[in-house]
Amino acid sequence: MGTYKDLVLYKKSFTLAMEIYSVTKQFPKEETYSLTDQIRRSSRSTNICTIEAYRKRRYPNHFISKLTDADMENSETQGWLEFSKECGYISDEIYNRLHSLSDEVGKLIQYMINNPGKFGAGE
């Protein structure tokens, strides 16, 4: 078994967080400590919870618990994306691209939750 960096979930959630970071550089200054900070934090937390889950895979309940944390953070990111679009900070095209990537991340999280043994949980 490789490292957490080999997980498709890790790679996609990292890409999502970095794309959100790039896009939010253009957000208004008055959003720095609210929307900008929140969406960056939740997208990064999705990725970090994935790493933590992988590290706790020896204990299936902990593995699944950290993955549910990742799912929660990913859902929060989707909410912030919606606000970003409705406030006019991102275009429909950017929203659709980022939301689609976030949906992929969510599906990967659910797959891992439903199949912990395939990721070394409990070994």
Residue 46, SS3 per DSSP: helix
What's the domain count of the chain? 1
Inside any domain, residue 25: yes
Inside any domain, residue 122: no
Residue span of the structural domain in which 46 resides: 4-115
Inside any domain, residue 94: yes
Inside any domain, residue 121: no
Predicted local confidence at residue 1, as pLDDT: 58
pLDDT in tens, 70-107: 999 999 999 999 999 999 999 999 999 999 999 999 99
Inside any domain, residue 46: yes
Start-to-end C-alpha separation, the chain? 11
pTM of the model: 0.94
DSSP per-residue string spanning 26-80: TS-GGGIIIIIHHHHHHHHHHHHHHHHHHHTTTSHHHHHHHHHHHHHHHHHHHHH
Inside any domain, residue 72: yes
Inside any domain, residue 38: yes
What CATH number is attached to the domain comprising 72? Answer: 1.20.1440.60
